Amino acid sequence: MQQLTTSQGTRISFDRYGSGPPLVLVHGSFTTHETNWEFVKPMLAERFTVHAIARRGRGETHATQSHGVMDEAADVGAVLESINGPAFLLGHSYGAHVALAAATEYEPHIAKLILYEPPWTDIAKPDQLKKLEQLAATGQWDRFATSFFTDTIQVPTEELEEVRNSELWPDIVADAPASLGDIRALNAYDLDLARVGGLNIPVLLQYGSESPQNLFLTEPLRSVFPDARAEKLTGQAHEGMTSAPEQYAASVCRFLL
């Protein structure tokens, strides 16, 4: 793991591995710079020099309070600026919002951008937020994660039970406190579609065929970007890099290379 300190004094950590053109990864919520890319890592490392950023509260990155999407975008920008030459940038879920915000501020440092299902900023409704805050206040992180997946992103019960009974669930629950910060930041974020639509870099919008498309910004973003395409991950939902790593890596490589 490598570290750098931003101009704001925030310590950012990231894993660097592989060889090839630089690729910066920005993980989503309920996951980390390790678990988000665990299954796709070997395939990406064969083709890219990967910089997998640990967002705030993960790895050795500062666990700040009350930070926003733009704060984390500045973290990504600091990593981009540390790389020699333009890099590819990829973000998943909440991390896709961070990556997109970083692209608007650091466009000259980015060659191509991939976004996998950034959610609407108001995806967590007021009653859901209230319930999540109550569960967090009493340290009920297992119920917190279950509630988020069930009520907010509408994971089917059978699919969620499969995840809860897998080896993935303890890591998901462990990330719940940091993910609460993501949920708060997203809820407070004012996304300007017109502004992000001014990006003049190629953009790939990945989406799962099984995801509820009304929860995510794939179509609104495709309509505003001057150079964008959308690609369906067949048979997958919101975690294609975990559930179908070969398919996911092939999608990434087709677009970037």
Whether residue 10 is contained in a domain is answered as: yes
Whether residue 163 is contained in a domain is answered as: no
Look up the domain containing 198 and give its range: 2-121+189-256
pLDDT attached to residue 99: 98
Strand boundaries in the chain, DSSP class E: 2-5, 11-18, 22-26, 49-54, 87-92, 110-116, 203-208, 228-233
pLDDT attached to residue 34: 98
Averaged pLDDT, 198-213: 96
Q: What is the pLDDT of residues 132-165, one digit of tens each?
A: 999 999 999 999 999 999 999 999 999 999 999 9
pLDDT tier for residue 94 given thresholds of 50, 70 and 90: very high
Whether residue 137 is contained in a domain is answered as: no
* Helices and strands, number each (H, E), in the chain: 12, 8
* pTM score over 0.95: yes
- Residue 170: CA atoms inside 13 Å, Cβ hemisphere, count? 1
Q: Any long-range contacts for 102-106 (C-beta under 8 Å, 24+ apart)?
A: 102/26, 102/73, 102/74, 102/76, 102/77, 103/196, 103/199, 103/201, 104/73, 104/195, 104/196, 104/198, 104/199, 105/70, 105/73, 105/74, 105/77, 106/76, 106/77, 106/80, 106/81
Q: Any long-range contacts for 8-11 (C-beta under 8 Å, 24+ apart)?
A: 8/71, 8/74, 10/56, 10/61, 10/62, 10/64, 10/71, 10/74, 10/75, 11/60, 11/61, 11/62
Quote the distance between the C-alpha of residue 45 and its chain's center: 19
Q: How many domains is the chain built from? A: 1
Residue 50 DSSP SS3: strand
The C-alpha atoms of residue 128 and residue 203 are separated, in whole angstroms, by 32
Q: Which residues pair with 40 in a beta bridge?
A: none
Q: What is the pLDDT of residues 156-186, one digit of tens each?
A: 999 999 999 999 999 999 999 999 999 999 9
Whether residue 166 is contained in a domain is answered as: no
Whether residue 36 is contained in a domain is answered as: yes
Whether residue 38 is contained in a domain is answered as: yes
At 230, which CATH number?
3.40.50.1820
Whether residue 225 is contained in a domain is answered as: yes
Whether residue 59 is contained in a domain is answered as: yes
Q: What is the pLDDT of residues 47-92, one digit of tens each?
A: 999 999 999 999 999 999 999 999 999 999 999 999 999 999 999 9
